[in-house]
Structures are given as C-alpha cells and as structure tokens.
Amino acid sequence: MARVFSCAAGALALAAALPATAQENVQLYGRLNVALEALRSSGSGDSVQRLSNNRSVLGVRGSEDLGGGWQALFQVEGTLSPDTGAGSIAARDTRVGIAGPWGTLFAGNWTLPYNSATSALDPFYPTTAGYMSLMGNGAGATENNTSNAYSFDRRQQNSVHYWTPQWQGWSLRVARGMAEERPANGAHPSLTSAALLYDSGDLYASLAHEEHHDYQGRGLSDRGSKLAIAWRIDSATQLALALESLRYATATGELRRRTVYASATRQFGRHGLRVGLAHAQSATGSALETIGTVRAGAGTGATHATIGYDYQLSKRSSLFAYYTRLANGRNGIAGFAINSLGRETGAAGATLSGVALGIKHNF
C-alpha cells in the first residue's frame, strides 16, 4: 500500500510541476480502460466474474528544440490500475533521447519494434481478448533478458532504439536489449529487434524479426519472424493479416510454431464492429521443453476468435463489448495473455470463453 501511495504522490507532484516549467511541448496524458468480465474455462471448470484493468496508463512526455532541426525527447509512462489502485510510475514506455534529420535515437524501457509492428492491427489489444494469447507466445509488459525468456510481444528494459526518418512511406526501427543480466548457467543473454515498415495511408505493411541470444542457455538463440499487411479500404474499414514463425533452440533440440492472425474493423458513425481471429498450428521439433505455452506434438495448436462492438461517446471516450473464445487442441495449453484465468494455465485441451463490457477514456 505504501508503494501505491508513493507512486501516486510522485505522479501528482510531476503533474503539478508542469504548468510552472519553462519548457515547451510538455504533455500529461493517460488511458483508463476497464471491463466487467464473465469468463469460463473448461479445463479447470472455473467461472469468474470480475473487473479487469486493460493496461491503463499515466504518463508525461515532451521535447525541447535544440536548433538545426534537432530535438531532445523524453517520456515517463507508468502503469495505473483503476480497479485496485495499484501502479508504478515508470513501468511502461519510458525514454530519453534525441531526434533530428537523421532519425531518432533513444534509450530506456520501451516497446520493441517486433511488437509495435503489428499490435495496432489487433482491435482488442491490449485486453483479455488480445492476440498475444497466440501471437508472440504471451505478453511481456516490461521485461529484461532473464525475467521472461519466451515472449516475443514485449517491452524491453535497458534497451537502445534507433528509428530512421520516413522516406516515401518506408522506415526502419531497430533495438538492442543490452546484455546486463548474468544467469548462473554462464550465458550472456541479449536481444536484437528490427522492423521494416511501409505506410502509404491506404496500405500498411511490415516485416519484423527478433532474436533472443542465450535465453534458453549458453550458445542458444531464439528467433521470431513476422510479416503483416493491412488494407484501409476507406476511412471506416480496415482488413489486416499477419503471419508469424517462432523458433526456440533448447538443450534438447528445436521448437517451432507458426501462427496466422486476421482482423477486420468497420465504423458506422459512432458504432464500430471488430473481429479478430488467431490460429496457431501444432508446434514441431525435437525439443522436450515447454517454452511459454509452446510445446511440440500433435494437438498442441489453438484458435482464438473474438467479435466485438464499440460505441463512441466522444473522441476520447467509448463503451465496448466483446465475446471471445480460445479453443486449444487436445494437448494445447494456451491461455489469455492479459488478465489470465490463472488455473487454466497448463490444463491441456482447455477451452476458454467469456464476455466483457467495458469503458475506455483517453486524455
């Protein structure tokens, strides 16, 4: 409890200082996103009714003009839990850096290019129904090289990033997770992430790759590759498709899984329809280990489908509802990546389903 009060006091003190500062281009911002959920798992037989937080945030960001087209940048973003009052002042996208004619260079705790290349294509990101249940093998809200050795959907601590300027719709983002952790097995884990992006307005495409060095042991590297495309048919309609291949190297062999994700969104004035569908094939390879929720063998795949509705109260506020269903193969163990049900993890063949009714406000 003392930590909660300390974080809240720090955020308030920071906000109070903003009007008095002489620095220009400073913004206090946030997102509050909560939902009432009724969920059920066939694996444990559990059903639960709860209020869930969908990664609400509170942050401050800004820039300083250095002249000659150069700017100094900063951002401090923390977690905020309207359902419990918990929070941490800098646990999300936090950085300090510089931007100019040659691009943007910064360091901090930041979402990796591999993650951000496709997260906006999921209309249910980041909620219980998000595609991270299958795409990326789970969600890493804020991780280092040893705190999470399996997820490719992650925000990386101690990372350095470079973003090129956009040229005729093309841009490149690369990041390095520094090798600061030293596990007992003698490994020197580090991370490299990159994404090539194209955005013409009507068409978006990305090719992303990420390598985790020494995550499963010394001399072993894991790789994730992802190709995505989105068509903005008009100002109200978008179709998207993403293909992913994950490969883990373990002491007993390789572990490989492929996943496909498709989404469609359509806006009718204040009313919005959202559909998302992810399917992970059964994993293959000789590895005996289970990495995250990926294990080799027949019937280890899963399908996660969600249909939802949004109603815009204003430009900043909306109500939403969705139905989601995650069906594992007979040996599959995937679960909801955010706001998990807990005991369903590890229950082979479980089907998870539920409905949610929520409200979201951005400021």
Token pair for 303: 């399908």
Please report the pLDDT score of residue 346 as a whole number.
57
Can you tell me the mean pLDDT for 33-51? 90
Asked if 347 and 43 count as a contact pair (C-beta separation under 8 A), the reply is yes
For 40, the enclosing helix (H) or strand (E) is strand 26-41
Q: Which residues contact 6 (CB under 8 A, 6 or more apart)?
A: none
Whether residue 20 is predicted with pLDDT greater than 70 in this model: the reply is no
**Quick one: what percent of the chain has pLDDT higher than 70?**
92
Whether residue 17 is predicted with pLDDT greater than 60 in this model: the reply is no
Q: Which residues contact 64 (CB under 8 A, 6 or more apart)?
A: 23, 24, 25, 71, 72
Mean model confidence pLDDT for the chain? 92
Q: At CA 199, angle to CA 195 and CA 204, rounded to 5? A: 80
Any idea which of 38-47, 134-143, 165-174 has the lowest mean pLDDT?
A: 38-47
- Chain-centre distance of CA 224, in angstroms? 15
Whether residue 342 is predicted with pLDDT greater than 90 in this model: the reply is no
Please report the pLDDT score of residue 58 as a whole number.
97
Domain carrying residue 226: 2-362
Q: Which residues contact 184 (CB under 8 A, 6 or more apart)?
A: none
Q: How many other C-beta atoms are found inside a 10 Å radius of the C-beta of residue 143?
A: 20
Residue range 102-145, pLDDT digits in tens:
999 999 999 999 999 999 999 999 999 999 999 999 999 999 99
In this structure, what CATH number is given to the domain that contains residue 7?
A: 2.40.160.10
Q: How many other C-beta atoms are found inside a 10 Å radius of the C-beta of residue 184?
A: 5
Length, in residues, of the chain: 363
Q: How far is CA 191 from CA 160, 161, 215, in A?
A: 10, 12, 9
pLDDT band (50, 70, 90) for residue 27 = very high
Q: Which residues contact 167 (CB under 8 A, 6 or more apart)?
A: none
Q: Which residues contact 62 (CB under 8 A, 6 or more apart)?
A: 23, 24, 25, 26, 27, 73, 74, 75
Please report the pLDDT score of residue 334 as a whole number.
96
**Residue of 204 and 42 predicted with greater confidence:** 204
Tally the C-alpha atoms within 13 A of residue 151's C-alpha that lie toward its C-beta. Answer: 24
Can you tell me the mean pLDDT for 31-36? 98
Whether residue 9 is predicted with pLDDT greater than 50 in this model: the reply is no
Q: Is the dihedral of CA 238, 119, 363, 65 positive or negative?
A: negative
* Overall domain count for the chain: 1
| Pairing of β 56-67 and β 26-41 | antiparallel
Please report the pLDDT score of residue 341 as a whole number.
84
Can you tell me the mean pLDDT for 85-114? 97
pTM assigned to the model: 0.91
Can you tell me the mean pLDDT for 236-244? 98
Please report the pLDDT score of residue 15 as a whole number.
42
Token pair for 239: 């179709």
Asked if 139 and 126 count as a contact pair (C-beta separation under 8 A), the reply is yes
Whether residue 251 is predicted with pLDDT greater than 50 in this model: the reply is yes
Any idea which of 13-17, 40-44, 221-225, 240-244 has the lowest mean pLDDT?
A: 13-17
Q: How far is 5 from 118, CA to CA, in rounded Å?
A: 35
Asked if 40 and 354 count as a contact pair (C-beta separation under 8 A), the reply is yes
First to last CA, the chain: 26
